[in-house]
Structure 1
Amino acid sequence: MIGCMCIHGFTGAPFEVEPLAEYLKKHTDWEISVPTLPGHGDELKLKGIAYNKWIEHAEEELKRLISRCEKVYVIGFSMGGLIASYLTVHYPVDKLVLLSAAAYYVNPKQLFFDIKEMVRDAFRGNLADNEMFVRYKRKIRATPITATLQFRRLVASIRPILNQITVPTLIAQGESDGVVPPRSARYLFNNISSSAKKLIFIKDSKHLICHCEEGDRLFREILGFLQKKPE
């Protein structure tokens, strides 16, 4: 049996990777795991949680998959991409997929355009319909500064070990991502040591890459990569 774990991002929940997880369930007989990291989910309770707790939770779920499956793949979105990278270095992971992985974060140029669009919608009286405003208003209110510091520490602790990744790796990045800039994907591609690595950009995708309009094409690319036999 093949096991595949999908890890969501900082202040997120399984819904961030749910479209991909559902696609994999529909097209394979794999065991798909989508854990909820401590303090995350529909209601954020991040106060007092250190970043190592997020890693440890993912480790326990990965160990469970390894005990049950002959092969294990790990997919990580945003901060989950950094956690997935850590797991790949320390455990027998067969393939790695990084989606909008946050080796770097905040894309000032795209964020400026997104904020400008929010201002336009505010003047039009349509702010409540602006997807980015609705999604991030709740997160900003519910995310303590200490949790953001823990996120930064996680990134800083994992970035130096990226060169220890040697398994086949697929990196996907939205070109219109206002949270994680395209240079993050290029950094990952240049620093991961795998000889079998691929970088793809999704032109119109913002940060939630699994919810973009080109999702089906992205999911086919991911499944094809995971099913491809070693050359």
Structure 2
Amino acid sequence: MSTACLCIHGYTGSPKELEPLVEILKERTSWEISTPTLPGHGETLDLRGHYYQEWIAAVELALLDLQKRHETVLIIGFSMGGMIASYLAAKHQVSRLVLLSAALKYISFSQIVKDTLGMATDAYKGTLASNAIFSRYQKKIKHTYFFSNIEFMKCIEFTKPYLMKVSCPTLIIQGELDGIVPSKAANFLEKEISSSDKEVVFLPQSKHLVCHDEDQDIVFDKVLQFVGDL
């Protein structure tokens, strides 16, 4: 029985957000792994004129394509991609669902304050350029079309009702220091998802990009354990 994995990145992101995990899966499995780039996304953002329906349709087509060739398909979704992954898992036959920093709730103001103070301190010291958070997000902020943020919110609101229809085994992983998605979002996900087989893992040293952060080995191990019998 052949297996495939669909990996969905987040808003304003690219497949690189999931790249470390994808590389581990390529090393440890013989699966076909699909990492589509959402319309308007990628290393160079061009979001103007793109709508959330396109983002969902693009990955749904990728899922249907995988299902033509494989009996078993699992989905891994990061941030907004996690909410789209939940929608697809509710609508189609999916064997496993992995949600990384899924954006059911978004913007953790308490963590943003801490991150902002850290950037302000580095700016005062003249070391802002070496601040990892500043370096990672300054380009995105400059090149994100304002009205695309509304499409992001529409995407979350559209996919949210489908959580209660997710019945496949689900793994939820959330960084406790996430400044984009509040850590309590993982608890809301666990409550809303109807599957009787679900697990929540909190990462004490991780922010939003859990595949690239301090606890990435925990992410890899948990995901491999979760999909080990496929």
Q: TM-score, normalised by structure 1?
A: 0.97
1:38 aligns with 2:39: yes
SS at match of 2:202: strand
Find the counterpart in structure 1 of residue 132 from structure 2: 131
Find the counterpart in structure 2 of residue 97 from structure 1: 98
Superposition deviation, residue 70 in structure 1: 1.2
1:194 aligns with 2:174: no
The separation in 2 between residues aligned to 1:163 and 1:228, in whole angstroms, is 25
Find the counterpart in structure 1 of residue 26 from structure 2: 25
The separation in 1 between residues aligned to 2:28 and 2:213, in whole angstroms, is 19
Superposition deviation, residue 75 in structure 1: 0.3
Find the counterpart in structure 1 of residue 75 from structure 2: 74
The separation in 2 between residues aligned to 1:208 and 1:58, in whole angstroms, is 20
Superposition deviation, residue 214 in structure 1: 1.7
The separation in 2 between residues aligned to 1:224 and 1:60, in whole angstroms, is 28
* Aligned-partner residue type, residue 22 of structure 1: E
1:108-119 to 2 correspondence within 5 Å? 108-119=109-120
1:1-231 to 2 correspondence within 5 Å? 1-228=2-229
* Aligned-partner residue type, residue 7 of structure 1: I
Alignment root-mean-square deviation, CA: 0.8
Contact 1:48/1:146, CA 8 A, preserved across alignment: no
Superposition deviation, residue 228 in structure 1: 3.6
The separation in 2 between residues aligned to 1:181 and 1:214, in whole angstroms, is 17
Q: TM-score, normalised by structure 2?
A: 0.98
SS at match of 2:227: helix
Superposition deviation, residue 216 in structure 1: 1.5
Superposition deviation, residue 91 in structure 1: 1.1
| Equivalent residue pairs, number | 229
* Aligned-partner residue type, residue 193 of structure 1: S
The separation in 2 between residues aligned to 1:214 and 1:178, in whole angstroms, is 16
SS at match of 1:210: coil
Runs of 4+ in 1 over 6 A off after TM superposition: none
> Percent of aligned positions with the same letter in both sequences?
47
